[in-house]
Amino acid sequence: MRAVDLIEKKVQNQELSTEEITFLIHGFIAGTIPDYQMSALQMAILFNGMTDRETYDLTMEMMRSGEIIDLSSVRGIKVDKHSTGGVGDTTTLVIAPLVAACGGTIAKMSGRGLGHTGGTLDKLESIPGTRVEMPLHKFAETVNKIGVAVIGQSDRLVPADKKMYALRDVTATVRSIPLIVSSIMSKKLAAGTDAIVLDVKVGSGAFMRNLEEARKLSRRMVTIGRRNGKKVVAVITDMNQPLGMAVGNALEVREAVEMLSGRIPEGDPLYEVCMLLGSYMLMLSELASEPESARQKLKEALESGKGLEKLQQMISAQGGDPSFLSMDRIDELCEVKEIRPIYSEAEGYIASIDTEKIGSAAQMLGAGRAKKDDRIDPAVGLVMKKRLGEYVRRDEPLCMMYINNPEKAEAAVIEFLEAFTFSNEKPPVEPVVYDIIGE
Ligand code: URA
Ligand code: CA
């Protein structure tokens, strides 16, 4: 078999056999298939797609490229939640402790920020002392003791994805459905949990730009998870604006603490997405039988302060200082040289927000990495002051920017302002949740 013939086959839009996919992944990991051939193959997959069978085979082969985590020493139904990547999406920091406070078992392996999207590990590390690396036995022990731990994926988990993603990131091949499905599900299957709630984002800040694509992505992930004996539900949620108001690492931790302190009202998009994802996590954990009773449980854990307490316990177990995680001290994590209001250049209703640009603006301030080895500045980012459909006057700020490096701020301000379009008429309000796949 030769890689070039298999690339040609995909260019001709033909189906690759199981053996051919195995050959490609093995060869790539072994180094006999070079980066340029894998890049070309991924580009052909982006254009011509893959059948369900090919996507399944690719996922399984990628999963087998590394370590399969054994979490059998963790008691109970282990449930995970995974987002396809968004902006201002601090849901994990809210629902992991909230679901644990309701009796759920969360042994979660998270990722770092990718491109314009944020990553849970970077947010956790903005809390002084917090470690996201932990030996597996300690991870299992922590989850058995307090019900929750969130750590980084080890380098041994799906090395094929690490190498393939690094190429996708620089060859404009991230947004391919079979490549996203296999990237996410190979890691989820290798990570050893029993149940997974997928948060599939759709909109201007997500890899999926329309609902039909998001449904297709969701159905494929649910099918692959179930074929491997996992309980899986996918929720399709809106990413046509940042989910919460905060975009940036410590700023998103602060918003999670606000939510867990009861400062964010019902009906708010962040509140509603947290409740929905949390509800399905409780149902898959067999701790609730339908969405209403699950939501009630989560509300009780929120209002009693048990959710916030659980987040503090989790951070403490991971070496962090939990005293920052209260409304009294949380502002200390967000201290920067300058907090600058960014004023609207136009007047009118906000008609659209290019959410990817909002994420990029935060990244430019230092909240994300442009290159893999860049250091993140935990305190910088932005806090939105307006949402889609709101009326803005010229003298009203669209956001507050948290700046440590004024030189970086100029480009970030331009990027941020370019994200908005305005209209004289009030645009219709879009839903926060579009669909649930696999109920
Ligand atoms: N998140 C991943 O882990 N992989 C993708 O391909 C996209 C989002
Ligand atoms: Ca995320």
**Which residue, chain included where needed, has tokens 């201290």?**
335
Q: pLDDT tens for residues 388-414?
A: 999 999 989 999 999 999 999 999 999
User: 343 phi and psi, to 5 degrees?
Assistant: -85, 150
Q: Is 433 exposed, middle or buried (0-12, 13-18, 19+ CB in 10 A)?
A: middle
Q: How confident is the model at residue 354 (pLDDT cuts 50, 70, 90)?
A: very high
Residue 340 annotated as catalytic: no
Residue 82 annotated as catalytic: yes
The confidence score (pLDDT) of residue 239 equals 97
Residue 48 predicted with pLDDT over 90:
yes
* Ligand 1 center–CA 183 separation, angstroms: 6
| From 80, 89, 161, 354, the catalytic residue | 161
Global pTM value: 0.94
Percent of the chain with pLDDT over 90: 92
Residue 117 predicted with pLDDT over 90:
no
CA-based R_g, the chain, Å: 21
Q: pLDDT tens for residues 244-274?
A: 999 999 999 999 999 999 999 999 999 999 9
Letter for the amino acid at 436?
I
Q: How confident is the model at residue 433 (pLDDT cuts 50, 70, 90)?
A: very high
Cα–Cα distance for residue pair 187/219, rounded to 1 Å: 17
Element (H, E) at 338: strand 338-343
Cα–Cα distance for residue pair 432/242, rounded to 1 Å: 11
Q: pLDDT tens for residues 373-385?
A: 788 999 999 999 9
The confidence score (pLDDT) of residue 253 equals 98
| From 83, 182, 183, 285, the catalytic residue | 183
Q: How confident is the model at residue 371 (pLDDT cuts 50, 70, 90)?
A: confident
Q: Contacts for 95-98 with beta carbons within 8 Å, 24 or more apart?
A: 95/274, 95/277, 95/278, 95/281, 96/148, 96/150, 96/311, 96/314, 97/148, 97/260, 97/307, 97/308, 97/310, 97/311, 97/313, 97/314, 98/260, 98/274, 98/278, 98/298, 98/301, 98/302, 98/307, 98/310
Residue 187 annotated as catalytic: yes
Residue 111 predicted with pLDDT over 90:
no
Q: Is 406 exposed, middle or buried (0-12, 13-18, 19+ CB in 10 A)?
A: exposed
Q: Ligand 1: which of 92, 207, 218 to mutate, most ligand atoms within 8 Å of CB? A: 207
Report the atom number in ligand 1 closest to the C-alpha of 168: 6
The confidence score (pLDDT) of residue 78 equals 97
Report the atom number in ligand 1 closest to the C-alpha of 111: 3
The confidence score (pLDDT) of residue 304 equals 98
Tell the residue nearest (CA) to atom 3 of ligand 1: 184
Q: Could you report how far apart the first and last alpha carbons of the chain are, in Å?
A: 42
The confidence score (pLDDT) of residue 235 equals 98
Tell the residue nearest (CA) to atom 7 of ligand 1: 180
Report the atom number in ligand 1 closest to the C-alpha of 85: 8
Residue 310 annotated as catalytic: no
Residues with CB under 6 A from ligand 1: 84-85, 111, 174, 179-180, 183-184, 207
* Ligand 1 center–CA 173 separation, angstroms: 11
Letter for the amino acid at 208?
M
The confidence score (pLDDT) of residue 234 equals 98
Tell me the average pLDDT of the chain.
96
| From 10, 78, 112, 187, the catalytic residue | 187
Tell the residue nearest (CA) to atom 1 of ligand 1: 84
Q: pLDDT tens for residues 174-229?
A: 999 999 999 999 999 999 999 999 999 999 999 999 999 999 999 999 999 999 99
Q: Ligand 1: which of 50, 87, 114 to mutate, most ligand atoms within 8 Å of CB? A: 114
Element (H, E) at 169: helix 159-171
| From 168, 188, 297, 310, the catalytic residue | 168
Q: pLDDT tens for residues 410-431?
A: 999 999 999 999 999 999 988 9
* Ligand 1 center–CA 362 separation, angstroms: 20
The confidence score (pLDDT) of residue 115 equals 72
The sign one gets for the Cα dihedral 285, 289, 291, 296 is: negative
Outline where DSSP puts E strands in 158-298: 195-202, 231-238, 246-247
Q: Ligand 1: which of 62, 162, 184, 198 to mutate, most ligand atoms within 8 Å of CB? A: 184
Tell the residue nearest (CA) to atom 6 of ligand 1: 180
Residue 437 predicted with pLDDT over 80:
yes
Cα–Cα distance for residue pair 382/359, rounded to 1 Å: 9
**Which residue, chain included where needed, has tokens 């910088």?**
380
Query: Read out DSSP for 92-131?
Result: HHHHHHHHHHTT-BEEEEE----TTS--HHHHHHTSTT--
Cα–Cα distance for residue pair 246/362, rounded to 1 Å: 10
Percent of the chain with pLDDT over 70: 100
The sign one gets for the Cα dihedral 386, 387, 390, 391 is: positive
Residue 426 annotated as catalytic: no
Cα–Cα distance for residue pair 356/114, rounded to 1 Å: 12
Residue 311 predicted with pLDDT over 80:
yes
Q: Which residues surround the ion ligand 2 when the cut-off is CB under 5 Å?
A: 83, 89
